[in-house]
Structure 1
Amino acid sequence: MRTTGSAAVALTFDDGPDPVQTPKILELLAENQVKATFCLVGDQVRRHPEIVRQIAAAGHTLCNHTWDHSLTIGRTKPAKIQADLRRTNDAIRAAVPGAQIPFFRAPGGNFTDALVQTAYADGMISLYWEVDPRDWEHAAGEDDASHVEKIVKGVQKDVRPGAIVLSHDFNQPDTILAYEQLLPWLKERFELGVPAQPQPPATAPAGAPAAKAAGAGAPGAAAAATEASTKAETPASAL
């Protein structure tokens, strides 16, 4: 799933919860009355369940981002993938009993058919993005002000109705400063919301056409995601 399925622009924040940055993002979103999607790393959830409760209490959408942000998990055996995703969901639901987790995002955008199919079988649509300002990437010699400006301009240049925007709330203070500027700018120009939540069946439908399935994050979507993944792949250092 690369777009929201509507005219709304969706903001997504990966790699948290972070005890310092995530509450600041939540405060900014509340001030601007904007809902977002948080792609949560299971081990961070285990460490900071209270932050997950804050995210859920504020009405934001939850997304599984694997247990420890392994960039190669998609190349492991399906049973290991399933165990990882379920362990992450269990941690989220230990923090927020009964939590809905409609989305899955592969670390670095490294989707494989096995990842997409396993997430789909567990009721999660695979969530990609269209806009990546690379907020995690600090170029050599780049000062903080220049980095913030790069993030802001990156979003402003590429955003359009229906776009899903990738950002990070783990150890990324410049992202906070960028969104102080971006949220008012985005609200003036776009409807802001969350991706549509089509409900997948318990198992993938046999023989589902790949082109149709790819649009919904169902099996076959990995091939559609691969092209963009090769253009902008988050390194392990970005968590």
Structure 2
Amino acid sequence: MHSKRGGRPATVATAAAVGTVAVGLLTAFVGTDAGASAASRHPGWEQSVRAARAGQDAAAPAQKRSGAGRAKPKAPPRKVSRTISHHAAAGGRAVSLTLDDGPHPEWTPRTLDLLRQYHVKATFCLIGPNAERHPGLVKRIVAEGHRLCDHSVDHDTGMDHKSADYQKRQILDAKRMIDKASGGAPVHYYRAPGGAFTPTSRRVAAEHGMRPLGWIVDPGDWQLPGTDAIVRHAKEQVEDGAVLLFHDGGGDRSETYQALRRLLPWLKSQGYGFSFPKS
């Protein structure tokens, strides 16, 4: 669900292993009565233990220097603007279709089929737990050339009245869920539920490679006004470069689906192309 606000612009290893075994055996022996006796009879015994320990300590940094066993470091997040994107990247007579609140087990697959039929690429703004429940759909979205957007964990439209820590958790926990569901595909955008962006949420998103994403065209499909009303509102609001807001999740989206069946060919007949939002 969306409010109307916020939508428009405003070898070393072997040595280490041997050293570890030696330290274990020597230390264990020293801890026994026999070990204590041996230490008194052989003053060099404790020095041997210390030397073994020193060898182990020396081997550990060397192993780290060699890079053995280390995971490949992740690439840093891409640098993006904190400003809210409202327009298509292609410019000109292009629009950007975005779909919120999925993935949904019924309406997301049907929407994907429709997009494939009309050769349209879209951006899917996913709720974290929904992505977690339907990883196959998230992977399909990516495989068919669409983009991913973080739409928070709980779709809390009052996030702009919550603490900075709360906002950060909502954004980053959702991103982790989407990352896992997609197999690590890029999450290009963050859309605040209801458009409730704050300086904090925009900063957190941008620092993690996600451009804040708004909209210009909101036909109100989330209010279930009927297919005819959705189509009429979209036609009245559309303009060059606009980001369009629709929903494939959050309940019964039959009206949205039927509206898109009419709007996608109409937009093309009016000379509109489709592009991803500016990122």
Q: TM-score range by the shorter chain?
A: 0.7 to 0.9
Q: Where do residues 123-202 of structure 1 align in structure 2 (5 Å cutoff)?
A: 123-138=209-224, 147-170=226-249, 171=251, 172-189=253-270, 190-197=272-279
| Distance apart, 1:73 and its partner CA | 2.2
Deviations 1:69-99 (A, max 9, x none): 0112232222222222111111111112221
Aligned to 1:2: 86
Equivalent in the alignment of 2:112: 26
The one-letter amino acid paired with 1:194 is: F
Q: Is the 8 A contact 2:95 2:274 kept in 1?
A: yes
| Letter paired with 1:31 | Q
Partners in 1 of 2:198 and 2:155 — Cα distance? Answer: 15
**Structure 1 stretches lacking a partner, 5+ long:** 140-146, 198-239
SS for the counterpart of 2:186 is: coil
Q: TM-score, normalised by structure 1?
A: 0.77
Q: Deviations over 1:208-227 (max 9, x none)?
A: xxxxxxxxxxxxxxxxxxxx
CA displacement at 1:113 relative to structure 2? 1.4
**CA distances 1:140-160 after superposition (whole Å, capped 9, x unpaired):** xxxxxxx10111111111111
- The amino acid that maps onto 1:4 is A
User: Runs ≥4 in structure 1, deviation > 4 angstroms?
Assistant: none
- Displacement of 1:114 in angstroms is 1.5
1:125, 1:15 → 2: CA distance?
Answer: 18
Question: Any stretches of 5+ residues in structure 2 without a counterpart?
Answer: 1-84
Q: Offset at 1:196?
A: 2.4
Give the whole-Å Cα distance in 2 for the aligned partners of 1:163 and 1:47: 31
Q: What is the deviation of 1:46?
A: 1.3
Partner of 1:89: 175
- Residue type of the alignment partner of 1:52: V
**Residue 76 in 1 paired to residue 162 in 2?**
yes
Distance (whole Å) between structure 2 residues aligned to residue 101 and residue 169 of structure 1:
18
Provide the C-alpha distance between the structure 2 equivalents of 1:29 and 1:17, rounded to a whole number of angstroms.
15
Query: Which residue identity lines up with residue 117 of structure 1 in the other structure?
Result: R
CA contact (8 A) 2:160 2:198 kept: yes
Equivalent residues of 2:86, 2:277 under 8 A apart: no
Q: How many residues align?
A: 190
Partner Cα distance (1:66, 1:74) in 2: 13
TM-score, length of structure 2 as denominator length: 0.66
Partner of 2:265, secondary structure, is helix
d(CA) in 1 for partners of 2:185 and 2:111?
21
Q: Is the 8 A contact 2:224 2:255 kept in 1?
A: no
- Rounded Cα–Cα distance in structure 2 between residues aligned with 1:123 and 1:78: 18
Q: Which amino acid aligns with 1:182?
A: L
Once residues 159 and 217 of structure 2 are traced to their aligned partners in structure 1, the CA distance between those partners, rounded to angstroms, is 24
- Return the match for 1:108 from 175, 178, 194: 194
Identity %: 38
Root-mean-square deviation (CA), in Å? 1.2
Query: How many angstroms does 1:64 deviate by?
Result: 0.3
Matched residues in 2 for 1:103 and 1:136: separation?
Answer: 21
